[in-house]
Structure 1
Amino acid sequence: MSAPGGPPANGAPSPAAIRKATLRRAAVAFGVGALGAAYLWHTNPHEPGHLLLPCPFRWATGLLCPACGGTRMAYDLMHGDLVGAFHDNAVLLTLGVPAAAYVIGRWLYAGLRGHRFRARLGARGNVVVLGIAAVWMLVRNLTG
């Protein structure tokens, strides 16, 4: 049996500790994201000469990876250009952004209720994600 407000007897963190950790991690992620967004707001990735990290896969192979265009897509979304964002990376916009929003939302919801949430993909989920990424990479590189 645990003391009121203390950790449970099995050594797992208390719901209050999970809530506090979730709020702390969310605040740090929000702050880092806001700094990155502020920098990207004033840095047009469609124009050369800006300090942005290049894609290592494209640098090494000359091919577009499934995530290539993500920075340009984020810039276009922040500036209200949905058509441009779709052009930069259609699959990341239509599948990746909603999936990330869902996972982050579930993590926040569970954490604020004092529960842990760990996103996990089973074998089928991994096959689906990797299959979509492989097909998208082929389509992007073969169609130019």
Structure 2
Amino acid sequence: MSSAPVGRHPRPAEDRDGGAGRRRFPRLPRHPLAGPLGLLGAGLAGSAYLYTRNPHLPGQWLPFCPWRRLTGLQCPGCGGTRMAYDLLHGDLLAAWHDNAAVLLAIPFIALWYAVRLRHGLAGRYWKLRMDRRAVTALLGAAVLWTIGRNLL
């Protein structure tokens, strides 16, 4: 006979951790400044790489838009790489032509980054929280931009 209490059956080891042999590791502590500094480093590295490539020319090793490859239509972010290249080279008019919506969003993205950096320097975590109306407005603007740029 078994010595296990009635009604209780010990689970096999592979079921204790929630899956077949999957281990759960504790989350490592991270300083609140790690995210903003990591984003800054990745942005600088990406900018340095993009500065030497011209996305207006064919044959460059740069990211592509899967939505455009599948449908032939431009998504809200299409032209963002060309826009960033033009901004890095000081051509604001060409950047506007490539993707005006993303260009107009840059001040808001910079403000978000500055707030996150300020909180990180103070040792606090900060996360952007948007209510349902803000998310709806943002998605609505993206849909309108997509429709407008594909019709014109």
TM-score by length of 1: 0.81
The aligned residue for residue 50 of structure 1 is 60
- Residue among 17, 25, 39 paired with 2:35: 25
RCO higher in structure (CA 8 A, sep ≥6):
1
Give distance in 1, aligned partners of 2:99 and 2:52: 21
- Rg bigger for which structure? 2
For residues 35-73 of structure 1, what are the alpha-carbon distances to aligned partners after superposition, in whole Å with 9 as ceiling and x for unaligned? Answer: 211110010001110001110110111000001000000
Q: 1:79, CA displacement in angstroms?
A: 0.2
Gaps of 5+ in 1: 1-16
Give distance in 1, aligned partners of 2:124 and 2:145: 36
The aligned residue for residue 125 of structure 2 is 116
Please show how residues 36-115 of structure 1 align to structure 2 within 5 Å: 36-94=46-104, 96-115=105-124
Instruction: Name the count of aligned residue pairs.
Output: 124
| 107-116 or 55-64, which deviates more | 107-116
Identity value in percent: 45
Q: 1:31, CA displacement in angstroms?
A: 2.1
Give distance in 1, aligned partners of 2:129 and 2:99: 25
Give distance in 2, aligned partners of 1:97 and 1:76: 14
Gaps of 5+ in 2: 1-28
TM-score by length of 2: 0.77
Extract structure 1 runs of 4+ deviating beyond 4 A: none
Give distance in 2, aligned partners of 1:131 and 1:107: 26
Give distance in 1, aligned partners of 2:148 and 2:142: 10
2:142 maps to 1:130: no
Q: Give the helix-richer structure, 1 or 2.
A: 1
For residues 96-137 of structure 1, what are the alpha-carbon distances to aligned partners after superposition, in whole Å with 9 as ceiling and x for unaligned? Answer: 211211111111111212222110111000111001100000
RMSD (CA atoms): 1.5
